């Protein structure tokens, strides 16, 4: 059974440094039989909102039981808690800084405040809890199983929330946020297609800053060089520039607002 353990990693460490490799070394010293999978290490430094988005669209594609070690941790060394969240059959391990806030809406779940140093690398540094707490706890869980959960620390009832993970729904509009910019410079918003249910393209206007962005269903429908909007492969509304980069064309940033204005016929 242990053989099938899957431990994934999501960080803002980049790939120039050996930090990800070091976390894998720590895991393998505890549990040799597991798959070690990288989600991405290119989260913008300390961007919890982006990490939260990337995690939320990735985890459902993994088998139940998968471990998600997430290290976007600007508060490392402060009072922020280290947590294990068991939700929807998955295990999420990392800092309680909003990264896992979207899981508050998925009952029932278990949240554990990781306190038992028996499962840590010691001494625990002030700067690298991925190596010293999150990776070893995932590895111990992978090899020893859920029976150790009560031994990891006290339970919590609620995770720190994160603002703007979901858009704000108003009677006449949806206020969204750019939460990720992909390799192609597409601006991906937090407006999942479910928020647009029942709306046809003629029922709404997509607005970014002061401009209306035409909504299309495939990249090929848009003229080159001009921003367009569509529902992407992760089911979120995004802004793109065909054969170009919306990020560069618009000089856009993660965190900017995007609006859907609803028409009433």
| Identified binder of a second copy from the candidate list 3, 122, 147, 194, rule CB under 8 A | 3
Please provide the DSSP assignment of 70-100 as one string.
EE--TTTTSSPPEEEEEETTEEEEEE-SSTT
Residue among 157, 200, 202, 233 that touches a second copy (CB under 8 A): 233
Determine if 253 is a binding residue for a second copy (CB under 8 A). no
Q: Would you count residue 179 as binding a second copy (CB under 8 A)? A: no
**Cα distance between residue 142 and residue 32, in whole Å:** 10
Q: How many residues sit close enough to a second copy to count as binding (CB under 8 A)?
A: 50
Question: CB under 8 A: which stretch of 38-46, 94-102, 168-176, 195-203 binds a second copy?
Answer: 38-46
CB of 14 to a second copy, least distance (A): 4
Nearest distance, CB of residue 59 and a second copy, angstroms: 8
Which of the residues 206 through 225 are near a second copy (CB under 8 A)? 218
What angle, 0 to 180 degrees and rounded to 10, lies between the N-to-C axes of helices 19-30 and 135-144?
30
Residue 159 and residue 103: Cα distance in Å, rounded?
Answer: 8
Query: Does the footprint of a second copy cover residue 39 (CB under 8 A)?
Result: yes
Give the list of residues 6+ apart from residue 76 with CB closer than 8 angstroms, or none: 95, 126, 127, 128, 129
How many whole angstroms from its chain centre is CA 216? Answer: 26
Closest approach, Cβ 18 to a second copy, in A, equals 4
Stretch that binds a second copy, among 30-38, 148-156, 202-210, 252-260 (CB under 8 A): 30-38
Q: Which listed range, 94-102, 110-118, 182-190, 249-257, lies at the site for a second copy (CB under 8 A)?
A: 182-190
Residue 182 as a binder of a second copy (CB under 8 A): the answer is: yes
Contacts of 86 (CB under 8 A, 6+ apart): 92, 109, 110, 111, 112, 146, 149
Task: Supply the DSSP string of 107-130, one letter for each residue.
Answer: -SEEEEE---GGGS-SSPPSS-HI
Query: What is the number of residues in the chain?
Result: 265
72 binds a second copy (CB under 8 A): no
Which of the residues 126 through 145 are near a second copy (CB under 8 A)?
126-128, 131
Strand stretches in the chain, DSSP E: 5-11, 34-40, 67-71, 82-87, 90-95, 109-113, 155-156, 168-169, 173-181, 187-192, 204-208, 211-213, 227-231, 236-241, 257-262
Q: Is 205 in the site for a second copy (CB under 8 A)?
A: no
- With CB under 8 A as the contact rule, the residue among 15, 105, 106, 155 that binds a second copy is 15
In angstroms, the CA 30 to CA 142 distance is 9
Q: Is 41 in the site for a second copy (CB under 8 A)?
A: yes
The nearest distance, CB 97 to a second copy, in angstroms, is: 15
Binding site for a second copy (CB under 8 A): 3-4, 6, 8, 10, 13-18, 20-22, 24-26, 28-29, 32-33, 35-42, 45, 54, 57-58, 61-63, 66, 77, 125-128, 131, 180, 182-184, 218, 232-233
């Amino acid at each position: 059974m242990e053989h099938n353990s899957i431990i994934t990693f999501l960080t803002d460490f980049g790939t120039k440094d050996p930090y990800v490799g070091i976390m894998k070394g720590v895991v393998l010293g505890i549990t040799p039989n597991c798959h070690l999978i990288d989600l991405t290490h290119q989260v913008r430094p300390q961007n919890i909102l982006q990490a939260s988005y990337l995690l939320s669209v990735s985890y459902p594609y993994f088998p139940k039981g998968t471990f998600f070690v997430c290290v976007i941790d600007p508060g490392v060394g402060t009072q922020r808690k280290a947590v294990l969240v068991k939700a929807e059959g998955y295990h999420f391990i990392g800092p309680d800084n909003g990264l896992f806030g979207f899981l508050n809406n998925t009952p029932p779940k278990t949240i554990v405040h990781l306190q038992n140093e028996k499962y840590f690398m010691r001494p625990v540094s002030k700067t690298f809890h991925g190596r010293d707490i999150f990776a070893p706890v995932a590895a111990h869980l992978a090899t020893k199983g859920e029976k150790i959960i009560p031994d990891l620390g006290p339970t919590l009832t609620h995770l720190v929330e994160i603002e703007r993970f979901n858009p704000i729904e108003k009677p006449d509009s949806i206020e969204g946020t750019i939460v990720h910019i992909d390799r192609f410079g597409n601006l991906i918003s937090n407006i999942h297609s479910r928020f647009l249910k029942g709306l046809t393209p003629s029922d709404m206007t997509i607005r970014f800053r002061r401009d209306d962005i035409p909504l299309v269903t495939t990249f090929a429908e848009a003229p080159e060089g001009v921003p367009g909007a569509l529902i992407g492969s992760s089911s979120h509304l995004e802004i793109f520039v065909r054969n170009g980069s919306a990020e560069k064309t618009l000089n856009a940033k993660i965190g900017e607002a995007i609006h859907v204005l609803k028409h009433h016929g």
